[in-house]
Structure 1
Amino acid sequence: MNIESARSIKKVWTVHERKVSGVHRAGAVLEPGFWEDYDPFLLLMDDRFEKGAFDIHPHRGMETITFVIDGSINHYDSVTGEGGKLKSGDFQFMTAGRGVVHNESPDEGESVHLLQLWVNLPRKYKMVEPRYQNIPKIAAPVRHEEGALIRVYSGSSGPVVSKTLNYVPVTFVEVIAEGETLVRQDLPGSYNGFIYILEGSGMFGKNQVQASKGQALWLETADNFDMSYIEVAAIEKLRFILFAGEPLNEPVVARGPFVMNTEEEIEQAYADYRKWKFLTQNK
C-alpha cells in the first residue's frame, strides 16, 4: 500500500431542520437506511428539544455518541441504575450491547441542542455488556495549532490520543479555527468519514469545496492508503465536528431502537424487551 493520501470531498448536502413535536425540532445529518454507504455509522440527528420530547426507551446492538452543543441534559440508564448530567461540550459514548433502557431530558423549562450519532456494533460484539463513558469537555485532550484548537473525544489527532474505549475504531474531533487558518486532521486510509459544520465557513479537502454552517460533507475514500488526511482552510471563524470510523462490511437489520444482523435477532430483541430482560440482565 501507499503511505498517505490527501482526501477530497465526495459530496456536500444541507441539513434541514423539521418540527417533530411542540417540544422537539430535528435535522437528519445522516439519514437512516443508507447502511452500506455510511458504514459503520447508522444515523446522525441534530436535535433541539425540551423536557417531554423523549420517554424511557431501549437499545440493543449499537452504540450512541451524544455531543451537547448548547444547554444541558439529564440522563438515566439501566446499567448503573442512576444517571447524571451532560453540559455544553460534554460527550457520552453509550454501548447498548445486549440491552440498555435509558432516557435523556433537559430540566423543566430548559432546552438542549445536541448531536446524537448511532454507531453499529460488529456481529461479535452485538451482545456485549452495556457500558457508559461520560467525558466532560474539560477532560477531553486538546491539540493546539496556530489559530486552531482540536478537541479529541475519540481516536486521535496528530500526537494527541483520546482514552475513549471503542469496539469499532472511531475518530471524533471538534475543530475550532480562526479565519485564514489551515487545519489538517489525519485518518487511517480505511476509515469512512464526514464533517458537519456548526459555525462559520471554509474550504474543505483536496478539491477545496466551499461549505458553511448547517452543511455536511462526506469524505472521499482512501482505502488504498495506510493513512490519509483532510485539510480545511477557515474562511472565517469556523467550528465543525468530524466523525470517521472503520467500516464493518456486515449485514444490517434495524427496526426502531434495535440494530442487529438478522430479522430473527430483531424479533428476539423485542421479545427480550417485552419480558423485561433488559432491566434484569444487568443486576
Structure 2
Amino acid sequence: MNREPVTVMPIARRIAHVDDPALIKDSSQHIARAMIPAGDWARHDPFLLMMEDDFGIGAFGMHPHRGIETITYVIEGSLTHTDNRGNSGVLGPGDVQFMTAGSGVIHLEEPPAGERVHLLQLWLNLPAAQKMTTPRYQDLHAAAMPRHSAEGVEVTVYSGTSNGVTSPTLNHVPVTVVEMRLTAGAAFTQDLPGSYNGFVHILGGYGEFGATHTAGRAGQTLWLDRPTSGDDTELSVTAVTDLRVLLGAGEPLHEPVVAGGPFVMNTEAQIRQAFLDYRAGRFDPH
C-alpha cells in the first residue's frame, strides 16, 4: 500500500515576555542599558548578558576576558578594536564581531577620537570544554554577509541559517544571529531549531511577533517561548511600521555558570585562577 509522506509543520513560537529596561547614564562619555541583565543564567542560556552602549573615546580602557565570546553589533558610528595579541580592526554600522576570548584576551574597544559609537554587545557562554580554547576574532562586515531577500524584506545572516541561507561563521555554540529589515506591511518567518533559546531586539520601528502577534517597539527585547519538544519551529515577524530587528538564538548549555567581573567560568576555583593568571601576565601570548 502506498502511503503519502507525513509533513510535520513547524511549531509557531510565541513571545514569552517583553523586557524594556531603563537607560543608565554612567557619565557624559557613556550611556548604557542592560538589555539582558547578568545573573539569570538558566533563563537566558546560552547567553549571559547584552548591553546597549553609546560612548565616546575613553569610556573603556584595556580590559581582559576569559571563558566567553562577545558578539558586538554596531548600530551607529565606528568601533576600533585592538588587543594584546596584535589584532586590530574597524567595524562600521551593521558590522558584527565574534570575539572568542577563550583562554584569555586583553583588548580595547572605542570609537575614533572625537566620535561616538552606538552598539549592542552580547556575551555568549562557552561550553566547559571550550573555556580555555585559543582566542580568535571574526569580523563580519555586513556587505560581505549572505542575505535572504524578498519583497519588503532583507535578512542578513551573521551566524547560523535563515530560510536556507547559511553563514560561514564558525561557532563553538550553535547560534543564529540575523538582522531583519522590513518595510511597513511586510512579513517574514524565521526558522529555528526547537531546542534553541532566543530573543528579538527591536532596533527601530514597531511590529508584531510570534503566534499571538505580540506587539513590540524600538528599544524592547522580546524573548521567545521554549517548546517542550525539539521539533522545528518558526517565528513570524510582521512590520507595522518600517522595522529593524536583531534576532539571537542558540543551543542552551545547561552547565554551571560562575561569573567574576570579565571572566565567566564553571567554578569559583576557575575564577580565582583567571584573576591569578591575569595579574601574573599569563594572558600575554608572548
How would you bin the TM-score normalised by the shorter chain?
Answer: over 0.9
Q: 2:88 aligns with which of 83, 86, 91?
A: 83
Aligned length: 279
Deviations 1:119-164 (A, max 9, x none): 0000000000001100111111110022100000011101100010
Task: Give 1:214's aligned residue.
Answer: 219
Deviations 1:32-89 (A, max 9, x none): 101111000000001000000000000000000001010001100123x131111111
Give the secondary structure class of the aligned counterpart of 1:197: strand
C-alpha distance in 1 between matches for 2:112 and 2:26: 19
Q: 2:76 aligns with which of 55, 70, 75?
A: 70
Answer yes or no: is the 8 Å Cα contact 1:190–1:222 preserved in 2.
Answer: yes
Q: What is the TM-score when the length of structure 1 is the normalising length?
A: 0.97
Answer yes or no: is the 8 Å Cα contact 1:71–1:111 preserved in 2.
Answer: yes
Taking the TM superposition and a 5 Å limit, the aligned residue runs for 1:1-283 are 4-79=10-85, 81-279=86-284, 282-283=285-286
Displacement after TM superposition at 1:116 (Å): 0.2
Gaps in structure 2 of 5+ consecutive residues = 1-7
Gaps in structure 1 of 5+ consecutive residues = none
C-alpha distance in 2 between matches for 1:278 and 1:146: 49
AA matched with 1:276 = G
AA matched with 2:94 = G
C-alpha distance in 1 between matches for 2:65 and 2:220: 29
AA matched with 2:169 = T
C-alpha distance in 1 between matches for 2:170 and 2:109: 22
Which is richer in strand? 1
C-alpha distance in 1 between matches for 2:32 and 2:97: 19
Q: What is the TM-score when the length of structure 2 is the normalising length?
A: 0.96
Give the secondary structure class of the aligned counterpart of 1:273: helix
Give the secondary structure class of the aligned counterpart of 1:226: coil
Deviations 1:7-29 (A, max 9, x none): 00000121321101220000111
Displacement after TM superposition at 1:232 (Å): 0.9
Answer yes or no: is the 8 Å Cα contact 1:122–1:168 preserved in 2.
Answer: yes
AA matched with 1:21 = S
C-alpha distance in 1 between matches for 2:204 and 2:87: 34
AA matched with 2:74 = V
Comparing 202-211 with 257-266, greater Cα deviation is found at 202-211
C-alpha distance in 2 between matches for 1:97 and 1:189: 28
C-alpha distance in 1 between matches for 2:252 and 2:87: 33
- For the aligned residues, what is the CA RMSD? 1.0
C-alpha distance in 2 between matches for 1:96 and 1:82: 12
Give the secondary structure class of the aligned counterpart of 1:195: strand
Displacement after TM superposition at 1:223 (Å): 4.2
C-alpha distance in 1 between matches for 2:18 and 2:120: 19
AA matched with 2:121 = Q
C-alpha distance in 1 between matches for 2:135 and 2:84: 9
Answer yes or no: is the 8 Å Cα contact 1:191–1:223 preserved in 2.
Answer: no
Answer yes or no: is the 8 Å Cα contact 1:187–1:227 preserved in 2.
Answer: yes
AA matched with 2:44 = Y
Structure 1 residue ranges (4+ consecutive) displaced by more than 2 angstroms after TM superposition: none
Displacement after TM superposition at 1:6 (Å): 0.5
